[in-house]
Structure 1
Amino acid sequence: MDVITNRSSRLFIILGGFFVANALVAEFIGVKIFALENTLGIEPFNFNLFGQKGALQFSAGVLLWPVVFIMTDIINEYYGKRGVQLLSFLAIGLISYAFIMIFASINLVPAEWWLEQNATRGVPNMQNAFSVILGQGMLIIIGSLTAFTIGQLTDVLIFHRIKKWTGEKNIWLRATGSTVVSQFFDSMVVLCIAFKWGPELVGNVEPWTWNQLFAVATIQYSYKFLMALCLTPILYVAHRGIDYYLGHETSEAMKKRATSW
């Protein structure tokens, strides 16, 4: 069988490439924290949760993580948990590799003309800027990768449990249900490791209080829950497009095989 010309194999490559690319990009843009109200041009919400007050601020990575979990559900539907697990571990390996290469590049001595050139563009110390933007803290990296792994495995488990109970109907239920549950673990794990348990273990960073952690987790989870609902119609469009591309017979055979894996 020719992997390139076979439609199911080619679809897996396309979906897998988009899945890994989104996960990788989300990791690196996540270092930027943006103010949602200011971005939308509206008055600050000024939430009050667990005794914590403030505006709605998110990591830029939230733009892509909902897409990653939607992609997980699409791949899950046609290629089963083995397909999702393969791509998840591939993404984790490539993200880890990318961070190793970035840390290596940070330790390279910068050329003087490069620093001077960027200083004229408003960046006084390009080496520091490069290090701060790309060199995320080790606790954040560990927390993010651990949360991603747990979130993906949870998504696969819940997705197939719901599909087993409901059959081929109710795509929205298994997709949204699995994403909502997995995103809860994803949101909590990354914050606990990066800002609570990690700092307490290392001792050189002030750990967050539980009130701080719960407030931020609630806001981030609420956003992800809302995005999961908003992106649900895209699942139906994607399913129709994939079914048309593969053909009804092949599509149904793949869905049935995916359930048994």
Structure 2
Amino acid sequence: MITNILRDKPTRLFIILSGIFVANALIAEIIGVKIFSLEATLGFNPVNMKILGETYNFNMTAGVLLWPVVFLMTDIINEYYGVKGVRFLSYLAAGLILFAFVIFFWAIHLSPAAFFVTMKVNSGVPDMDKAYQQILGQGSLIIVGSLIAFLLGQLVDVFAFHRIKKVTGEKKIWLRATGSTLISQLIDSFVVLFVAFYLGPLLYNPDNNPVWPMSQVLAVCIVNYIYKFTVAIVLTPVIYWVHGIIERYLGHETAGEMKRTAMNR
């Protein structure tokens, strides 16, 4: 039975795309705890952009390196498996991300072995257990904000993709794929910062000021979106390349039928 399922090319393709989608979403959440300088990484001087009266550079979470892959997979899955396919994987990915953080929370609270705490002292880590907690123990507000932004961004991406495709038909793959990504990434960029650093702290304690003022939330959102916008444009040729691989793998007749069916799902 399993062998027959795996011999079915559309089913096998869905499993492959699903694995790439879920793996990248989960890894992006885990590595997102690191903030890196894009300019320093590329060997450039800080850009020192003036936004809303403040100076900002491209200091972003490491997770932004993988989110473009997630949204690329969203558009590919949307093309061949429709809205239901993307929604299923979005809910599955969100559930697995939440499950992963629950396991991290449980692992963090295990009592460390004595030698584990000091095993990396000579490498510049005086307390391995605290380092472990800081790396895997992301703040609850960041997790909540990230999950809300992920799900909302996915739903917006699906809606925009299908609206554009209904207007353009099978033509202009770049417009529906890149266009829907640009719209959904704008929402994703703002929601995660707004929930984690502005709305969340206010709801927890209305008497305190938010972690970030609204001007900073908007400014950092703009910086992140500029990066995501640029990457989405750069990845446009990759969309055609992936489409070409899938068309050859499935055959044009099967691929065409799947795309027609996906529009009604």
Q: Which residue of 2 aligns with 1:52?
A: 54
Q: TM-score, normalised by structure 2?
A: 0.96
TM-aligned CA distance change 1:23 to 1:132, over 3 Å: same
Q: Which residue of 2 aligns with 1:62?
A: 64
Q: In structure 2, what residue type is equivalent to 1:194?
A: A
TM-aligned CA distance change 1:180 to 1:122, over 3 Å: same
Deviation at 1:206, TM superposition (A): 4.3
The 8 Å contact of residues 57 and 223 in structure 2, kept in 1 or not, is answered as no
Matched residues, percent identical?
56
Q: Which residue of 2 aligns with 1:112?
A: 114
Does residue 253 (structure 1) correspond to residue 265 (structure 2)? The answer is no
Deviation at 1:131, TM superposition (A): 0.6
- Which runs of 5 or more residues in structure 2 are unaligned? none
Q: Which residue of 2 aligns with 1:223?
A: 227
The 8 Å contact of residues 49 and 56 in structure 2, kept in 1 or not, is answered as yes
Q: Which residue of 1 aligns with 2:45?
A: 43
Q: In structure 2, what residue type is equivalent to 1:212?
A: Q
Q: In structure 2, what residue type is equivalent to 1:244?
A: R
Q: 1:79 aligns with which of 78, 81, 91?
A: 81
- 8-17 vs 48-57, which moves further: 48-57
Q: Which residue of 2 aligns with 1:28?
A: 30
Q: In structure 2, what residue type is equivalent to 1:236?
A: Y
Does residue 12 (structure 1) correspond to residue 22 (structure 2)? The answer is no
Deviation at 1:20, TM superposition (A): 0.2
Q: Which residue of 2 aligns with 1:180?
A: 182
Q: Distance in 2 between matches of 1:189 and 1:171?
A: 27
Deviations 1:33-74 (A, max 9, x none): 001111111111111101111322010001000111011000
Q: Which residue of 1 aligns with 2:95?
A: 93
The 8 Å contact of residues 76 and 83 in structure 1, kept in 2 or not, is answered as yes
The 8 Å contact of residues 58 and 224 in structure 2, kept in 1 or not, is answered as no
Q: Which residue of 2 aligns with 1:237?
A: 241
Q: In structure 2, what residue type is equivalent to 1:94?
A: L
The 8 Å contact of residues 147 and 187 in structure 1, kept in 2 or not, is answered as yes
Q: In structure 1, what residue type is equivalent to 2:229?
A: F
- 133-142 vs 197-206, which moves further: 197-206
Q: Which residue of 2 aligns with 1:198?
A: 200
Q: Distance in 2 between matches of 1:153 and 1:128?
A: 37
TM-aligned CA distance change 1:28 to 1:205, over 3 Å: farther
The 8 Å contact of residues 197 and 207 in structure 1, kept in 2 or not, is answered as no
Q: In structure 2, what residue type is equivalent to 1:213?
A: V
2:254 counterpart SS class: helix
Q: Which residue of 2 aligns with 1:132?
A: 134
The 8 Å contact of residues 112 and 129 in structure 2, kept in 1 or not, is answered as yes
The 8 Å contact of residues 197 and 212 in structure 2, kept in 1 or not, is answered as yes
Deviation at 1:112, TM superposition (A): 0.4
The 8 Å contact of residues 199 and 210 in structure 2, kept in 1 or not, is answered as no
1:48 counterpart SS class: strand
Deviation at 1:134, TM superposition (A): 0.6
TM-aligned CA distance change 1:205 to 1:130, over 3 Å: farther
